[in-house]
Amino acid sequence: MSSPTEAAAIRERMQQLYECWNQGDAQAYAACFTEDVDYVAFDGSHIKGRQANAEAHQALFDGVLRGSTLDGEVKSLRFLAPDVALIHTEGVIKLRWQRKAPKGRRSIQTTVAVKREGVWFFTAFQNTRIQPPNAFARWMLRLMTPKRSASR
């Protein structure tokens, strides 16, 4: 359905995205996305469109995330069609005064890439903080797990 070359191009585009973040270049960062991107940040805020994405990230790069670096890794990449791919990445932001990024800040991202006029762009992005299950989640998991019969 797709070639290793296309997968490499998407991975390269993802690396470009990280580099744009690390340079604090909101316009270049947003240029990795489609004009009509849907971008959901870790806090649930929903940014619609490339320009809104650039503006939101410029405010972050000028403020709390000034000098931050983004370290990310593609965990899986699957083609849904020759010009559409689903990507899962994990990443973490290190703030300018930190030697290492805190483990509790790791996130998983779901991204949809589309190929338009020979170039891969990200058109949907969802970022979720990775957190250990709390007591309520553990309790719910126990309730949902089928019990094994003692007679086996």
Strands 84-94 and 69-81: antiparallel
Alpha-carbon span 106 to 130, nearest angstrom: 6
Cβ–Cβ < 8 Å for 28, 45: no
pLDDT at 149: 62
CATH number where 137 lies = 3.10.450.50
**Would 151 be classed as within a structural domain?**
no
Q: pTM, whole model, 2 decimals?
A: 0.84
pLDDT at 142: 78
Q: Which domain holds residue 85?
A: 4-144
**Would 43 be classed as within a structural domain?**
yes
Q: Report helix, strand or coil for 125.
A: strand
Q: Per-residue pLDDT for the chain (152 aa), expressed as one digit of tens each?
A: 467 899 999 999 999 999 999 999 999 999 999 999 999 998 999 999 999 999 999 999 999 999 999 999 999 999 999 999 999 999 999 999 999 988 788 999 999 999 999 999 999 999 999 887 777 777 777 787 887 766 55
Structural domain total, the chain: 1
**Would 18 be classed as within a structural domain?**
yes
**Would 150 be classed as within a structural domain?**
no
**Would 152 be classed as within a structural domain?**
no
